[in-house]
Amino acid sequence: MAEAIVALSTPPGVSGLAVVRASGDGVFEIVDKCFSGKVRITEAKTHTIHYGEFRNKDKLIDFVTISVFRAPNSYTGEDVAEINCHGGYFVAEAIIETLIENGCRLAEPGEFTKRAFLNGKLDLTQVEAVADLIHSTSQQGYQTAVRQLSGEFSRRIAELKKKLLDAASLLELELDFADEGFEFIDRSLILKAIDEAIDYCRELSSSYHSSEIFRSGFFVGITGFPNSGKSTLFNALLKKRRAIVSEIPGTTRDYLEESIFIEGVAVRLIDTAGLRETENIVEIEGIRMVESLLAQSNLILVINDLSLGQTNSDQLYNQLLERYETSRVVLVQNKIDLIEKHPEGRDYEIFISAKNNDGVNQIYEIIREQIRKESEHIKDVLVNQRHYLLLKRASEELGRARQSLLENRGNELVADDMRKAVQTLGEIIGETFSMDVLNSIFSRFCIGK
């Protein structure tokens, strides 16, 4: 029994239309208690639209159209009524309240999609694609999510699983003839199936980092000693005055974040408080505060005040380079306008005058270049952390199977690890899942989806 649930599926507020969605057992009867049109919704054919009055007892609420989807041919796989009403703050609210008075309950975040999953309408990677689609901040992230929603990823995983299972069964079959000393399976075919799966898992898991960029944005952390011109550069990149700039060191206290779009990706610029130099550079005061900001940065710009010397921030640069291995770190020599003779450049530094907006384009170019590099890794999937961990596990299991096969350690051992990998791959598409995993996936959803 699926309880009838209802929620607003469009954003609340002023709009032309709003869509209220109701799903579950008895929704058509409930809707009929409030709706009068030419036909009763209970009698309406699936995939039809009906116009009429929506009322709460004798009070007219709105003129609406209702789309009817009968189980199992609906998003959730249950009976679904989608009520199109006028937008604004009151109409949809009143419709939802009326439906609740008549027997629906308010849906939890993601509950429609959860039911779609539990009813086998979508697999887990498709559910995740729905969340990514809703939240996508980039053109590429969106396009990949759509491909994932089409089931491309799941099909590929299913294909690999089948190959591995076939190979494992052959090995097991051979076991039955072990007594007679038969070895009739071509080992190279088994190896091929394992290697193909390993390659796929590795290739995909390596796109995790890039996927995050297309999912959450490309982070640029601006750091350096006080007064080096971080906020001036931040404003220059944003092309507006957002951060306060002054000659007083320590102007920026916490941090500021603003986004710009480059190559269809949300580039999230973060202006941080200046780091203070102490006796021991490792203990640079404040580095802990910006630590998490820099740790999530794809690009770290270390701003140096060139008028204080070209090597003034070298130690800081080297330290950050070592600490944030996965980020690209660039030394930005600022205030070139204060220098008479252009110094010789080293390959990891660029020269700019943030104040005069001179050379700032080089930074857009670096960002563009990084984004292009990252997008080469993206295939048909936006790999998330859950996929990443499972892909890693599967490739470890397959690695063990491969090893056992090469060392001739017996069919049982090889087949066992192959079957484990098959199960791990199955977890990716949600053939087996825990409630915890489901809950954490659906916590990303909003009510009404």
Ligand X SMILES: Nc1nc2c(ncn2[C@@H]2O[C@H](COP(=O)(O)OP(=O)(O)OP(=O)(O)O)[C@@H](O)[C@H]2O)c(=O)[nH]1
Stretch that binds ligand X, among 28-36, 146-154, 186-194, 221-229 (CB under 6 A): 221-229
Question: According to the binding rule CB under 5 A, does residue 252 interact with Mg ion?
Answer: yes
Quote the CA–CA distance of 200 and 185 in Å, as a whole number.
24
Contact partner at residue 430 from Mg ion, ligand X, none, CB < 5 to 8 Å by partner kind: none
Contact partner at residue 228 from Mg ion, ligand X, none, CB < 5 to 8 Å by partner kind: ligand X
Query: In the complex, what is the shortest distance from the CB of residue 23 to ligand X, in angstroms, rounded to a whole number?
Result: 52
Tell me which of 98, 126, 144, 232 binds ligand X, using CB under 6 A.
232
Quote the CA–CA distance of 136 and 385 in Å, as a whole number.
16
Tell me which of 247, 322, 325, 344 binds ligand X, using CB under 6 A.
247
**Count of CB atoms within 10 A of residue 342's CB?**
9
Question: Cα 321 to the chain's mean position, in Å?
Answer: 27
Tell me which of 5, 104, 131, 245 binds ligand X, using CB under 6 A.
245
Question: According to the binding rule CB under 5 A, does residue 235 interact with Mg ion?
Answer: no
**Helix (H) or strand (E) segment spanning residue 351:** strand 349-351
Contact partner at residue 246 from ligand X, Mg ion, none, CB < 5 to 8 Å by partner kind: ligand X
Tell me which of 37, 217, 229, 448 binds ligand X, using CB under 6 A.
229
Stretch that binds ligand X, among 58-66, 108-116, 248-256, 366-374 (CB under 6 A): 248-256
- Of the pair 356, 439, the CB lying nearest ligand X is at 356
Contacts with ligand X: how many residues (CB under 6 A)? 22
Tokens 């990706």 belong to 265
Question: According to the binding rule CB under 6 A, does residue 221 interact with ligand X?
Answer: no
Question: According to the binding rule CB under 5 A, does residue 231 interact with Mg ion?
Answer: yes
DSSP track, 221-271: EEEESTTSSHHHHHHHHHTS--S---SSTT---SEEEEEEEETTEEEEEEE
Stretch that binds ligand X, among 99-107, 178-186, 258-266, 333-341 (CB under 6 A): 333-341
Query: In the complex, what is the shortest distance from the CB of residue 231 to Mg ion, in angstroms, rounded to a whole number?
Result: 3
Which phi and psi angles does 355 have, rounded to 5°?
A: -65, -40
Question: According to the binding rule CB under 6 A, does residue 313 interact with ligand X?
Answer: no
Question: According to the binding rule CB under 6 A, does residue 337 interact with ligand X?
Answer: yes
Quote the CA–CA distance of 381 and 374 in Å, as a whole number.
14
Quote the CA–CA distance of 394 and 417 in Å, as a whole number.
9
- Asked if 317 contacts 302 with a C-beta cutoff of 8 angstroms, the reply is yes
Question: According to the binding rule CB under 5 A, does residue 307 interact with Mg ion?
Answer: no
- Asked if 71 contacts 59 with a C-beta cutoff of 8 angstroms, the reply is no
- Gap between the terminal Cα atoms of the chain: 20
Residues of the shown chain interacting with ligand X in the complex, contacts defined by CB under 6 A: 226-232, 245-247, 249-252, 274, 334-335, 337-338, 353-355
